[in-house]
């Protein structure tokens, strides 16, 4: 059965709507392109900011509600780079590599499955941005405070010349980001779990980046979050939702590398649980990124929307 996200009319607009001159100008100045970049109707906001719409494509997994947390971070970080690009005097393309970020989600603002949401980003200096995601009632769904390492295209090419390779063309209407990466060798312990992404393939990196395929930080964080929520779902008989996620991304995971994910529950209280997760190169201690994730525990009779995984299972049954 086709999901409402996939069949949402916004998807047709995403593929067919012509971009404004402003939108295309910003696209030409940043490193992330379609299908990873799903920003639509990009426009100036105030003297320095930008705004846009976006629809979501990935299932939420075990989290309560219709939106996957890592995908929220993905779209907000992209818009933050657009805000910095607007204020960058250079017309050359730059790579805005998300380095540190804090994602906050808010329970009171509901978002419907398939709804196109509004984003606004304001630059903070030359390398940081504050980004807000709102629903059709103008309620705040989530915020992201994010800082970037900003590299010119020439410097990026010089630093990562050993990673250059031909990137496969994206297939129109298809996105590798609509489904989670496939884990292998997943293990679950009392307070921890591990899993392996055997190989980062160029197909998993489409739009990030052209000729230098690297797994997006948001996809690394999605792996950490899904491993943590899978462990949480197995060990606690409660619904839950992510409230905050503090991210640090040290290195890029380029095509051809293997990634080991690990999570550990560091604190459990009556109404919340904290996990610390790491994504590292398999076989050594090179860390690509890490995250500290706080989840609010919800009573399963609370009426809060259940997770996408539970909804999918009920449909199959």
* Segment 215-241, tens digit of pLDDT: 999 999 999 999 999 999 999 888 999
Mean pLDDT of the chain: 88
Is residue 9 over pLDDT 50? no
Domains of the chain in start order, with CATH, are 4-162+173-316 (3.10.129.10)
Is residue 305 over pLDDT 60? no
| Residue-level pLDDT at 99 | 95
Rg over CA atoms, the chain = 19
Structure tokens at 10: 């916004």
* Segment 198-215, tens digit of pLDDT: 999 999 999 999 999 999
Q: Can you give the pTM of this predicted structure?
A: 0.89
Which residue bears the tokens 């008989």? 237
| Residue-level pLDDT at 14 | 53
| Res. 170 pLDDT band, cuts 50 70 90 | low
| Res. 311 pLDDT band, cuts 50 70 90 | very low
| Res. 172 pLDDT band, cuts 50 70 90 | low
| Residue-level pLDDT at 316 | 27
Question: Residue 88: how many CB atoms within 10 A of its CB?
Answer: 20
* Segment 77-114, tens digit of pLDDT: 999 999 999 999 999 999 999 999 999 999 766 677 67
| Residue-level pLDDT at 299 | 75
Contacts of 311 (CB under 8 A, 6+ apart): none
Find out whether 206 and 35 touch, Cβ atoms under 8 Å: yes
Q: Tell me the average pLDDT across 260-287.
A: 96
| Residue-level pLDDT at 141 | 94
Structure tokens at 51: 């705004």
In percent, the amount of the chain with pLDDT more than 70 equals 85
Contacts of 61 (CB under 8 A, 6+ apart): 68, 180, 225, 226, 229, 230, 307, 308, 309
């Amino acid at each position: 059965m086709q999901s409402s996200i996939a069949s949402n009319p916004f998807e047709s607009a995403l593929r067919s709507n012509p971009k404004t001159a402003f939108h295309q100008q910003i696209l030409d100045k940043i490193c992330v392109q379609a299908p990873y970049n799903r920003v639509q109707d990009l426009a100036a906001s105030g003297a320095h900011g930008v705004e846009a719409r976006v629809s979501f494509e990935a299932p939420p997994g075990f989290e309560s509600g219709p939106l996957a947390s890592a995908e929220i971070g993905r779209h907000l970080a992209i818009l933050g780079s657009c805000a910095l690009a607007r204020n960058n005097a250079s017309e050359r393309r730059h790579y805005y590599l998300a380095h540190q970020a804090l994602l906050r989600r808010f329970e009171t603002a509901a978002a419907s499955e398939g709804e196109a949401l509004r984003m606004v980003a304001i630059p903070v200096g030359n390398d940081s941005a504050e980004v807000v995601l709102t629903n059709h009632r103008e309620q705040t769904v989530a915020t992201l405070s994010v800082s970037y390492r900003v590299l010119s295209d020439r410097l990026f090419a010089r630093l990562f010349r050993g990673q250059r390779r031909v990137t496969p063309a994206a297939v129109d209407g298809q996105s590798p980001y609509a489904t989670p990466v496939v884990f292998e060798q997943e293990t679950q312990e009392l307070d921890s779990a591990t899993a392996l992404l055997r190989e980062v393939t160029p197909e998993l990196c489409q739009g990030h980046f052209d000729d230098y395929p690297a797994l997006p930080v948001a996809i690394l964080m999605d792996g950490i979050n899904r491993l943590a929520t899978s462990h949480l779902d197995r060990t606690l008989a409660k619904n839950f939702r992510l409230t905050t996620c503090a991210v640090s991304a040290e290195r890029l995971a380029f095509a051809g590398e293997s990634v080991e994910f690990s999570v550990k529950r560091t604190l459990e209280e009556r109404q919340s649980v904290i996990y610390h997760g790491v994504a590292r190169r398999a076989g050594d201690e090179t860390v690509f990124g890490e995250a500290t994730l706080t989840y609010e525990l919800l009573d399963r009779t609370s009426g809060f929307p259940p997770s996408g995984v539970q909804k999918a299972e009920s449909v199959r049954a």
